[in-house]
Structure 1
């Protein structure tokens, strides 16, 4: 007879966990595992990685979930390996082989294709993606053998490096704008070389200002104590690191948190991170127009209090 499962006592957790997503996990499976390990009440991720992809997956907890959209829109960097000469139904190693062609790629071909796919390009989103048509994900149509017409998208490949590993494999390192599909990039590169291709591995090495060196694995989290797990969390304001900064005194901070605009000598700015002085706390985001600080996404007083209560205590200097 199986022993009854112990019910996890959830609690408010606020912050960002930089997870190195393991191979074979969906982004949601990785999120739920980390949420369980932290006993967190509320969590979300900042954009999905395929189960066959590994790497940087920022997970947001509590108040940080309010700012997750900022990293959905962030530039990202990937490393991938493409197998030349073989096309699959999904553009990666999970799909069925649908075409094979001989590979005759010279160093000049590699340089030409690298230049061709650097800068602004257009991509047709793959059928095996989470994009929705009439409320249904494209991959669901694909599983039913239905092909849906997709409009091309404008994306930007900021940097691209193609390195020949052997006769039939190429390493792809690409820094890209939001909305770029690396599987599609690999397929399009293969077509431009005249032989087709599919990805055999894919790793996200950076998103926004976060890199793989900052990440923790699920295995490492499992081996930690609860306090050690909590120490892995970055504060919610880590998601707005590139914003301009405005600090408000107590009275203005209270009014700002209630949604009221504040007037001051600030320069116009589209993205502002707002902090209070008493207590010293992150309040939320805003923008400045004509000297007015206009609230955007805000923490609530309970969230701020919970964050301050859980903040590491520093000893006073005698």
Structure 2
């Protein structure tokens, strides 16, 4: 007999998952999806298998708004091994260079300060960035190096939590597109040495914090009702956007794909969070100031 497959369900919401070390973001996503029996699921930005921590998982209608977290600032706690460079920039790679230079905490902090603010960073070969349709790490594993352009990022703050040479632990607040393994290498380079990551944990993104997360082990031990109660509403993904409340007639027009006249006070902005008179999240809309009209961008499916 074939084993009975749990019936999938139309589930909407956001799960703040604490991804474990050693599993890919997609594997963690599929595990959460199976546990919740969700028909549709997606995540909001890849975490390396080596990294643990905050991974927002979107179910159902929430997947429509996942892209708005990709541009969000992030925070990480990183553990560096100083004096050694590896092929991958982390502990999974082979050691390729060693430095015997010893330096103190002050020199390390000065290097962190030098790398704070707007900087240019070359993405590592061991990354999910695509080249001709394939991620760079596939080329890297074959020993092929692809030229990468430096990109501007912003390191808002680096706090040194621990320093016991050759190990250092730092907290980093940064903009999207920041590679912490590259940042670690660049900090070491500033001192004239090498470094690689031995641990990485994402602690915050888009206003969410690691303290709000749930592990798969914890979720598995709960009943389905208890698990469902941990889901956040879909609009948490777009809380940073401006809001407007609309009457039923306007909402109906937007749902039918029509433009709706709007005479209220609203700055030209795209996108805008829209809510109905019952405070239900309608979706994202755009305001066209010259025509004084609203236009739908991405709406919730009310039939789900």
Question: Could you state the TM-score of these two structures normalised by the residue count of structure 2?
Answer: 0.95
Which stretch shows the higher mean deviation, 36-45 or 107-116? Answer: 107-116
Question: 3-state SS of the aligned residue for 1:233?
Answer: coil
C-alpha separation in 2, matches of 1:95 and 1:243 = 41
Alignment check: 8 A CA contact 2:53 2:203 kept: yes
Structure 1, unpaired ranges of 5+: 304-318
Q: CA deviation at 1:249?
A: 1.3
Question: 3-state SS of the aligned residue for 1:51?
Answer: coil
Aligned length: 300
| 1:149 aligned partner | 147
Question: 3-state SS of the aligned residue for 2:31?
Answer: helix
Question: Could you state the TM-score of these two structures normalised by the residue count of structure 1?
Answer: 0.91
| 1:102 aligned partner | 100
C-alpha separation in 2, matches of 1:301 and 1:58 = 23
Q: CA deviation at 1:247?
A: 1.1
Structure 2 residue 299 is matched with structure 1 residue 298: yes
Question: 3-state SS of the aligned residue for 1:270?
Answer: coil
Structure 2 residue 291 is matched with structure 1 residue 288: no
C-alpha separation in 1, matches of 2:280 and 2:266 = 22
Question: 3-state SS of the aligned residue for 1:77?
Answer: strand
Alpha-carbon displacement from aligned partner over 1:5-35 (angstroms, at most 9, x marks no partner): 3212101000100000011111011100000
Alignment check: 8 A CA contact 2:271 2:297 kept: no
Q: CA deviation at 1:281?
A: 1.7
Q: How does 1:1-318 map to 2 (within 5 A)?
A: 4-262=2-260, 263-268=262-267, 269-277=269-277, 279-290=278-289, 291-303=292-304
Structure 2, unpaired ranges of 5+: none
Alignment check: 8 A CA contact 1:103 1:168 kept: no
Q: CA deviation at 1:270?
A: 3.2
Alpha-carbon displacement from aligned partner over 1:177-230 (angstroms, at most 9, x marks no partner): 110001111111111121100000000000001001111110011001011111
C-alpha separation in 2, matches of 1:43 and 1:6 = 21
Alpha-carbon displacement from aligned partner over 1:150-179 (angstroms, at most 9, x marks no partner): 111110101112344211011121111110
Alignment check: 8 A CA contact 1:125 1:150 kept: yes
Alignment check: 8 A CA contact 1:14 1:63 kept: yes
